[in-house]
């Protein structure tokens, strides 16, 4: 080792050791000084290296690139890579880190990112499903467990949470977020960020979070993934940006931009969004990573001539790190040397990378997360499984539980000693409940519903037959299913007769169907959102064989359940519920847990209604006057079949005596809204009490109602609880015609209830 190198190493180690509590501004100041001193030592090539991220080969979450594993290893040793994604395990991360620490001049540690979306190896419900729990503490907890497991395997950074407001069930990625509402996405996003990052990013069990996709990705036209987005600036600020502002305020360490364009400008090069709004407007100092190849894709967008041009547009637009495009590596040096890109822009990006690494404590110990002992002992523990089960049962939504006429009660909860037939392709499926984006889950490691039921009741009361399979699983064991399309069985109905036979002999039939794990997720948009034909035909036969049929759905997007809701008395939405799915569903089926989940996204009557969301505008023609000339459809109701916020319980709740502490308030004042909620059934239960507000007249038209608060609480049978909400400027302001967030004086209406279809009752005025 030459003298200069050892001086650098000492300097960097010294810098590292001096960093401790990094949250105070004093220390932030210290970090900034240390970052500046490292920056001064760096060559332009080394800076570009820090701005470059490559994929490892332990997982593949985007189109395969052209750089070989061997070449990447060389690049690591030459300081050409500052971050890697999809390198997993303590051993693999240690090996890659070693290449950097032992061979590069400045020994700036690598940061390892991975899509830890709903668990690392212990898998929690898919985010859309978990959002149905309306339990922020629980979501924070599951994210913290995901962080603990991922960090034990060398991961520093998750590409989560996805906080794209998603209103279109055709879009496969609705499974990855918190649904259709901006406020709800904000609070869920913040809970998840807190869970991943904890209070101290440098602690060995926390990881950096990433607010994605900035911005507008969830508004892809026609629900087609990667498609263009065309929204106005007011819609952008009022509907799409609030969760990102909340994430920035919660100190999320990183953002990821998006594949889509907005009104002609690719998000990856969107200067207004990334620089004017986020970095300058919100003073956010974190790292903006591109999405996979999204810099290079600006060529296909018709926005960049070649990779060098794409790199120029991306850095000017605010992308700090290039994931998998090699655009910065190819062109940035020349761009700077030719004065097309200023060194200041490069320095700002590199500082953001170094800041992340500092905050993670990597300069102090680059290997601290790559810990074989922790990897052995802290992943997939019994305690984590318990939380996965709790998260699972709290995420289930009871959509329908009608009284069965011939015995005057509903089917759920199931009674002890009933003879149960469990059928359907997903009944015994140990893979589908893991959902898409399952990180390091072992294939087929979930508890299937059949197993869950076997764990819950005596074996002599259970019969099982699969019925017809709806997906042809041709992929060999272990092959990454992420990128390949599924093949569906169109015609083979074998298995039907056996299943119908056991169905007709049972007291109750539980039929389990819906979507395969890989039917939703990235690149999994669909134009048909019904249960596929083969399953539906089978369901019709089952229903005929035994009307005491409970439909248990496993799916990642809202489905069109029009036929099912007309014809099946009992429907339970269980999403893709994770490692403990079967046990969690059995807890609900047998009444060990009283369901409390509520939909975070509207379920339509028909795909033709999509995008469908409760907080629409009123239009100039909202009402029917017995003519066709109003805003609706001639062949369908315009409302959701199951609305946002909806979900039943084994008990019921009555809302009464809505009160306001005052009917007028000033802009900066407050009033209190309260209501009495009584459990009028015969079981204890939890209710999600929701507050909706409407601003009646605005400088811009306002939605017919907007969720502005909620409380989830346990109410014992017969008990009444008074639930109150404080109404302040936070609930009333919006991005006005003057392009500022403000409360406009005027009349408002408010309602508190159990779902988004409640009528708004109380009126108040802001002066
Ligand atoms: C593409 C996805 O859009 C993004 O969400 C993900 O984090 C990256 N690939 C990395 O896997």
Cβ burial, residue 17 (10 Å; 0-12/13-18/19+):
exposed
Ligand 1 probe mutation, 157, 177, 213, 256, most atoms within 8 A of CB: 256
Asked if residue 646 has its Cβ within 6 Å of ligand 1, the reply is no
Task: Annotate 322-339 with DSSP letters as a single string.
Answer: EES--HHHHHHHHHHHTT
Atom 8 of ligand 1, nearest CA residue: 292
Above pLDDT 70, what percent of the chain? Answer: 95
Asked if residue 291 has its Cβ within 6 Å of ligand 1, the reply is yes
Report the alpha-carbon distance of residue 589 to residue 581 in Å, rounded. 12
Ligand 1 probe mutation, 63, 65, 115, 524, most atoms within 8 A of CB: 115
> How confident is the prediction for the chain on average, in pLDDT?
94
- Does 291 participate in catalysis according to the annotation? yes
pLDDT at 487: 86
pLDDT at 476: 55
Per mean pLDDT, which range of 22-36, 140-154, 209-223, 515-529 is the poorest?
A: 22-36
Report the alpha-carbon distance of residue 133 to residue 563 in Å, rounded. 26
Ligand 1 probe mutation, 218, 292, 322, 520, most atoms within 8 A of CB: 292
Closest ligand 1 atom to residue 213 Cα is 5
* Cis peptide bond upstream of 213, omega within 30: yes
Whether the per-residue pLDDT at 211 is higher than 90: the answer is yes
Q: Of the candidates 524, 323, 311, 392, which has an alpha carbon nearest to the alpha carbon of residue 126?
A: 392
Whether the per-residue pLDDT at 706 is higher than 90: the answer is yes
User: Which residues are CB-contacts of 83 (< 8 A; sequence separation ≥ 6)?
Assistant: 52, 53, 54, 110, 111, 112, 113, 157, 289, 321, 353
Q: What angle do CA 717, 718, 721 make, to 5 degrees?
A: 95
Q: Which residue(s) pair with 157 in the sheet? A: 113, 208
Asked if residue 115 has its Cβ within 6 Å of ligand 1, the reply is yes
Q: What is the pLDDT of residues 644-694, one digit of tens each?
A: 999 999 999 999 999 999 999 999 999 999 999 999 999 999 999 999 999
Distance 322 CA to ligand 1 centre (A): 12
Distance 61 CA to ligand 1 centre (A): 6
Closest ligand 1 atom to residue 159 Cα is 7
Report the alpha-carbon distance of residue 404 to residue 422 in Å, rounded. 19
Distance 377 CA to ligand 1 centre (A): 29
Report the alpha-carbon distance of residue 285 to residue 268 in Å, rounded. 17
Closest ligand 1 atom to residue 210 Cα is 7
Q: Which residue(s) pair with 656 in the sheet? A: 676
pLDDT at 482: 67
Asked if residue 164 has its Cβ within 6 Å of ligand 1, the reply is no
pLDDT at 3: 42
Asked if residue 212 has its Cβ within 6 Å of ligand 1, the reply is yes
Please list, residue by residue across 128-143, b when 16 or more beta carbons sit within 10 angstroms of its beta carbon and e when fewer do. Answer: bbbbbbbbbebbbbbb
Which two structure tokens, joined as six digits, stand for 223?
Answer: 């629900």
Asked if residue 522 has its Cβ within 6 Å of ligand 1, the reply is yes
Whether the per-residue pLDDT at 246 is higher than 80: the answer is yes
Residue ranges of E strands in 548-684 = 549-554, 570-573, 653-660, 664-665, 671-679
Report the alpha-carbon distance of residue 185 to residue 163 in Å, rounded. 6
CB–CB of 173/61 below 8 Å? no
Distance 152 CA to ligand 1 centre (A): 22
Which two structure tokens, joined as six digits, stand for 483?
Answer: 């990128």
Whether the per-residue pLDDT at 142 is higher than 60: the answer is yes
Report the alpha-carbon distance of residue 548 to residue 570 in Å, rounded. 8
Whether the per-residue pLDDT at 180 is higher than 70: the answer is yes
Whether the per-residue pLDDT at 753 is higher than 80: the answer is yes
Q: What is the pLDDT of residues 259-307, one digit of tens each?
A: 999 999 999 999 999 999 999 999 999 999 999 999 999 999 999 999 9
Above pLDDT 90, what percent of the chain? Answer: 90
- Cα–chain-centroid distance for residue 23? 27
pLDDT at 475: 62
653-766: in CATH 2.60.40.10 = yes
Asked if residue 159 has its Cβ within 6 Å of ligand 1, the reply is yes
pLDDT at 624: 78
Q: Of the candidates 200, 177, 270, 198, which has an alpha carbon nearest to the alpha carbon of residue 231?
A: 270
Q: Would you place residue 20 in the very low, low, confident or very high pLDDT band (cuts 50, 70, 90)?
A: very low
Asked if residue 173 has its Cβ within 6 Å of ligand 1, the reply is no
Q: What is the pLDDT of residues 395-427, one digit of tens each?
A: 999 999 998 867 779 999 999 899 999 999 999
Closest ligand 1 atom to residue 162 Cα is 5
Q: Tokens 């589908």: give the residue.
A: 432
Which two structure tokens, joined as six digits, stand for 5?
Answer: 């190198």
Number of neighbours of residue 753 by Cβ within 10 angstroms? 20
pLDDT at 19: 38
pLDDT at 61: 76
Catalytic residue among 115, 135, 164, 291: 291
pLDDT at 38: 98
Asked if residue 176 has its Cβ within 6 Å of ligand 1, the reply is no
Which two structure tokens, joined as six digits, stand for 146?
Answer: 């995901």
Q: Strand order in 254-257's β-sheet? A: 210-214, 254-257, 287-289
653 phi and psi angles, rounded to 5 deg: -120, 140
CA atoms within 13 A on the CB side of 407: 10
Q: What is the pLDDT of residues 42-78, one digit of tens each?
A: 999 999 999 999 999 767 778 878 888 889 999 999 9
Distance 341 CA to ligand 1 centre (A): 27
Q: Would you place residue 754 in the very low, low, confident or very high pLDDT band (cuts 50, 70, 90)?
A: very high
CB–CB of 253/209 below 8 Å? yes
Cα-trace Rg, the chain = 27
Ligand 1 probe mutation, 127, 257, 522, 524, most atoms within 8 A of CB: 522
Ranges 24-38, 273-287, 470-484, 611-625, most confident:
273-287
Distance 672 CA to ligand 1 centre (A): 43
Please provide the size of the chain in residues.
767
Q: Would you place residue 544 in the very low, low, confident or very high pLDDT band (cuts 50, 70, 90)?
A: very high
Task: Annotate 579-637 with DSSP letters as a single string.
Answer: TTHHHHHHHHHTTSS------SSPBPSSGGG-S--SS-B--S--S--SSS-SSS-SSS-
Atom 3 of ligand 1, nearest CA residue: 291
Asked if residue 93 has its Cβ within 6 Å of ligand 1, the reply is no
Q: What is the pLDDT of residues 573-631, one digit of tens each?
A: 999 999 999 999 999 999 999 999 999 999 999 999 999 999 999 999 998 777 899 99
Asked if residue 54 has its Cβ within 6 Å of ligand 1, the reply is no
Closest ligand 1 atom to residue 160 Cα is 7
Phi-psi region of 362 (alpha: psi -120 to 50; beta: other; left: phi over 0): alpha
> How far from 746 is each of 42, 583, 665, 668, 695, CA to CA, in Å?
57, 51, 10, 14, 8
Distance 165 CA to ligand 1 centre (A): 17
pLDDT at 18: 39
Top CATH class, 387-609: alpha beta
Ligand 1 probe mutation, 62, 83, 210, most atoms within 8 A of CB: 62
Report the alpha-carbon distance of residue 590 to residue 593 in Å, rounded. 8
Distance 62 CA to ligand 1 centre (A): 7
CB–CB of 428/573 below 8 Å? no
Q: What is residue 705's three-state secondary structure?
A: coil
Q: What is residue 589's three-state secondary structure?
A: helix
pTM of the model: 0.96
């Amino acid at each position: 080792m030459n003298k200069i190198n050892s001086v650098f190493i000492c300097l960097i180690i010294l810098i590292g050791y001096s960093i401790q509590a990094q949250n105070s501004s004093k220390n932030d100041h210290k970090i900034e000084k240390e970052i500046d001193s490292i920056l001064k030592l760096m060559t332009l090539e080394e800076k570009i290296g820090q701005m470059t991220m490559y994929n490892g080969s332990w997982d593949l979450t985007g189109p395969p690139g052209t750089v070989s594993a061997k070449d990447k290893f060389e690049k690591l040793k030459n300081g050409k890579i500052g971050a890697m994604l999809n390198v997993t395990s303590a051993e693999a991360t240690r090996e890659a880190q070693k290449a950097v620490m032992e061979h590069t001049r400045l020994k700036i540690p690598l940061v390892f990112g991975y899509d830890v979306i709903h668990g690392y190896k212990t898998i929690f419900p898919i985010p859309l499903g978990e959002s149905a729990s309306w339990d922020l503490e629980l979501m924070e907890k599951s994210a913290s467990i995901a962080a603990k497991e991922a960090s034990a395997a060398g991961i520093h950074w998750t590409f989560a949470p996805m906080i794209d407001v998603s209103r279109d069930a055709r879009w496969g990625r609705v499974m990855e977020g918190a649904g259709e509402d901006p406020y709800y996405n904000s609070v869920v996003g913040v809970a998840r960020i807190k869970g991943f990052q904890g209070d101290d990013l440098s602690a060995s069990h926390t990881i950096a979070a990433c607010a994605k996709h900035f911005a507008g990705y969830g508004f892809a036209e026609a629900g087609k993934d990667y498609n263009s987005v065309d929204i106005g600036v007011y819609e952008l600020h009022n509907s799409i940006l609030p969760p990102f502002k909340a994430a920035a305020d919660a100190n999320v360490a990183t953002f990821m931009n998006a594949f889509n364009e907005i009104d002609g400008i690719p998000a990856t090069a969107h200067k207004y969004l990334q620089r004017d709004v986020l970095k300058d407007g919100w003073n956010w100092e974190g790292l903006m990573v591109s999405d996979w190849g999204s810099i290079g894709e600006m060529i296909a967008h018709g926005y960049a001539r070649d990779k060098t041009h794409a790199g120029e547009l991306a850095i000017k637009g605010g992308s700090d790190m290039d994931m998998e495009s090699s655009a910065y590596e190819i062109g940035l040096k020349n761009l700077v040397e030719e004065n097309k890109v200023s060194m200041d822009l490069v320095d700002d990006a590199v500082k953001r990378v170094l800041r992340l690494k500092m905050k993670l404590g990597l300069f102090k110990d680059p290997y601290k997360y790559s810990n074989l002992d922790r990897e052995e002992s802290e992943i997939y523990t019994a305690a984590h499984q318990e939380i996965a089960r709790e998260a699972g049962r709290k995420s289930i939504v009871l959509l329908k539980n009608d009284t069965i006429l011939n015995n005057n009660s509903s089917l759920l909860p199931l009674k002890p000693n009933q003879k149960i037939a469990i059928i359907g392709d997903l009944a015994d499926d140990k893979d589908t409940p893991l959902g898409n984006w399952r990180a390091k889950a072992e294939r087929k490691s979930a508890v299937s519903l059949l197993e869950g039921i076997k764990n819950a009741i005596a074996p002599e009361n259970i019969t099982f037959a699969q019925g017809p399979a709806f997906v042809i699983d041709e992929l060999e064991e272990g092959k990454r299913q992420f990128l390949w399309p599924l093949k569906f069985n169109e015609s083979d109905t074998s298995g039907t007769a056996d299943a119908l036979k056991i169905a007709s002999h049972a007291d109750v039939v539980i039929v389990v169907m819906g979507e395969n794990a890989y039917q939703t997720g990235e690149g999994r948009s669909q134009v048909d959102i019904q249960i596929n034909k083969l399953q539906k035909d089978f369901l019709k036969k089952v229903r005929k064989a035994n009307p005491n049929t409970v439909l248990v759905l496993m799916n990642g997007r809202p489905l069109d359940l029009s036929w099912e809701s007309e014809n099946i008395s009992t429907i339970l939405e269980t999403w893709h519920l994770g490692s403990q799915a079967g046990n969690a569903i059995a807890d609900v089926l047998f009444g060990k847990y009283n369901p409390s989940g509520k939909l975070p996204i509207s379920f339509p009557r028909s795909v033709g209604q999509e995008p469908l969301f409760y907080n629409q505008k009123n239009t100039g023609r909202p009402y029917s006057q017995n003519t066709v000339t109003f805003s609706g459809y001639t062949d369908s109701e315009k409302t959701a079949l199951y609305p946002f916020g909806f979900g039943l319980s084994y008990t019921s709740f009555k809302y009464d005596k809505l009160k306001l502490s005052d009917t007028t308030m000033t802009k900066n004042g407050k009033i209190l809204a309260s209501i009495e909620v009584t459990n009028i059934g015969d079981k204890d239960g939890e209710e999600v009490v929701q507050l909706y507000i409407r601003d009646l007249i605005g400088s811009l038209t306002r939605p017919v109602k907007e969720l502005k608060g909620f409380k989830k609480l346990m109410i014992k049978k017969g008990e009444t609880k008074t639930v109150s909400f404080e109404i302040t400027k936070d609930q009333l302001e919006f991005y006005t015609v003057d392009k500022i967030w403000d409360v406009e004086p005027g009349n408002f209406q408010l309602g508190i209830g159990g779902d988004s279809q409640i009528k708004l009752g109380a009126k108040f005025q802001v002066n």
